[in-house]
Amino acid sequence: MPDKKARLGHRVRVWIDKVLQHKEMPDKKAPLCPHCGQEMKKWKVPIASTWANEFFYVCFNDECPYFVQGWEHIWEQQATKASYRCRLDPDTGKYGPVPVWSYDALKNDIID
Ligand SMILES: [Zn+2]
């Protein structure tokens, strides 16, 4: 039954393609920051944090308006030298802030 065999072979190929595509997608396409349009970086979540995620996407652009305005915002509200960067939770697809205390904060944990 050559027909059946060929169909099966095709089905397996489609399945393999799907698996490969799925595996490569998160690495290939970095999401863009909604505030500045730059590619966000994969950032390893510290073990000590309360977040359950393994990693987040974070915008590390030092000129990102979200980050730039964060300094003024926190200073006005809390008189503290700190800001926040835009963070994307890859599991829920939701954006949120991640607090930083300097321009270089968190940069050691960038995965790629
Ligand atoms: Zn940004």
If pLDDT is split at 50, 70 and 90, which confidence band does 48 have?
Answer: confident
- Compute the distance from residue 18 Cα to the ligand 1 centre, in Å: 31
> How crowded is residue 60: how many other Cβ atoms within 10 Å of its Cβ?
20
36 and 18 housed in the same domain: no
- 17: tokens are 């393609």
Share above pLDDT 70 across residues of the chain, in percent, rounded to a whole number: 90
Q: Which domain holds residue 14?
A: 1-29
72 and 62 housed in the same domain: yes
pLDDT digits (tens, 9 = 90+) for 59-97: 999 999 999 999 999 999 999 999 999 999 999 999 999
- Compute the distance from residue 99 Cα to the ligand 1 centre, in Å: 14
37 and 80 housed in the same domain: yes
For the cut 90, the answer to whether the pLDDT of residue 39 exceeds it is yes
51 and 38 housed in the same domain: yes
Residues with CB under 5 A from ligand 1 (ion): 33, 35-36, 59, 61, 64
39 and 94 housed in the same domain: yes
C-alpha dist (Å) from residue 84 to 5, 27, 40, 73, 75: 57, 24, 14, 10, 12
Q: How many domains does the chain have?
A: 2
pLDDT of residue 49: 85
55 and 7 housed in the same domain: no
55 and 94 housed in the same domain: yes
**pTM (predicted TM-score):** 0.73
Q: Check: CB of residue 82 under 8 Å from CB of residue 100.
A: yes
15 and 53 housed in the same domain: no
Q: What torsion, rounded to 10 degrees, do the Cα atoms 100, 30, 54, 20 define? A: -170
40 and 92 housed in the same domain: yes
50 and 76 housed in the same domain: yes
| Mean pLDDT of the region 89-109 | 95
pLDDT of residue 19: 72
If pLDDT is split at 50, 70 and 90, which confidence band does 16 have?
Answer: confident
- Compute the distance from residue 85 Cα to the ligand 1 centre, in Å: 7
37 and 23 housed in the same domain: no
39 and 88 housed in the same domain: yes
Among 68, 98, 72, 104, smallest CA distance to 85 is for 98
C-alpha dist (Å) from residue 95 to 76, 81, 111: 23, 23, 19
Among 31, 5, 25, smallest CA distance to 92 is for 31
